[in-house]
Amino acid sequence: MTYTGPVYRPPYEANSLLLQVTVGCAHNACTFCTMYRDTKFKVEPIDQIEQDLKEAARLYPNTKRVFLVNGDAFVLSARRLKPIAELIHKYLPFVEVISMYASVNNVKGKSDEELRELVKLGIRDLWVGVETGHAKTLQYLNKGFTLEEAEKQLKRLNDAGMPFYFGFMFGAAGSGLNQENAKATAKLINATNPAGVVPTTLGAFGDSPLAKEVEKGNFTPSTEIDVLDEQMKLIKLININTMYMGIHGLNTVAFDAQLPRDKEQVLTRIQNAKDNLNPSYLNSVPERHSV
């Protein structure tokens, strides 16, 4: 298999075949993100993708799930994604799901009809990095879309029958805005009905623009106790049936749950962490080095 540049995947895709179709991230401008900062975006040639699939057919013939690498692979047009999906089914006939990272803008770039055609080809379970439902924070993080666009495009995925996972970050709005961020993000989640919600926790990574803002005193990161309170508030406010997929290593209290079924149980778990963790840790801003 050919892999160029850094490769990231959600923890939940650990057993998926990773097939590289793009290098880097086409947006590559989120304030907090350093993942592909030094990697030039490009689309992998279809011949290389086919060679990788031939190899996968030899090595992993029973593959059921493929994750298309890299940072926003759904940026590929439907015209490019369709032949890739067809080749996947040709060489790996047991594949049921083709998933990938996606931006709200990648959805915007496809018609309703194209989305439905992609669903028929097994493309679903998009990992959409929304990060927050707080309009000003969304702008500050430079995601490249507005709150209204996020709601509209995520609803289009629902209408097309393409399930998605809603990625977001505790602490995204910074100190003092944790409760507001939880309320706004829960509101967007409830309105857009994702199959799962996937939290991580904001860090001022490396030499990201956000880290520079923190250095200059323009952005104050949240303390751990504020992040845990934000987590509790958000879980309390989610009122749809959805998976809570929170095992990412950046989360202090990390768990999977089914909401609303497990709500009381997980709230108790976070409360226990608040009661038992060292107060100096809870009142600090733990360093988070990288996603």
Where along the sequence are the contacts to ligand SF4 (CB under 6 A)? 25, 27-30, 33, 35-36, 71-72, 103, 129
Q: How far is the CB of 43 from ligand SF4 (least distance, A)?
A: 15
Q: How far is the CB of 33 from ligand SF4 (least distance, A)?
A: 3
Q: How far is the CB of 247 from ligand SF4 (least distance, A)?
A: 19
Cβ distance to ligand SF4 smaller for residue 33 or 157 = 33
178-192 helix and 147-160 helix, angle to the nearest 10 degrees: 30
- For residues 162 and 155, give the distance between their C-alpha atoms in angstroms, rounded to a whole number: 10
- For residues 157 and 126, give the distance between their C-alpha atoms in angstroms, rounded to a whole number: 9
Cβ distance to ligand SF4 smaller for residue 270 or 291 = 291
Q: Starting at the earlier edge strand, list the strands of the sheet with 196-201.
A: 17-20, 65-69, 97-102, 126-131, 164-170, 196-201, 242-246, 255-259
Cβ distance to ligand SF4 smaller for residue 202 or 257 = 202
Structure tokens at 260: 């609303």
Q: In b/e form, how buried is each residue of 131-169, taking b as 16+ CB within 10 angstroms?
A: bbbbeebbebbebbbebebbbebbebbeebebbbbbbbb
Structure tokens at 67: 């994750």
- For residues 165 and 128, give the distance between their C-alpha atoms in angstroms, rounded to a whole number: 6
Cβ distance to ligand SF4 smaller for residue 27 or 124 = 27
Cβ distance to ligand SF4 smaller for residue 35 or 160 = 35
Structure tokens at 123: 């493309």
Q: How far is the CB of 27 from ligand SF4 (least distance, A)?
A: 4
Q: How far is the CB of 225 from ligand SF4 (least distance, A)?
A: 26
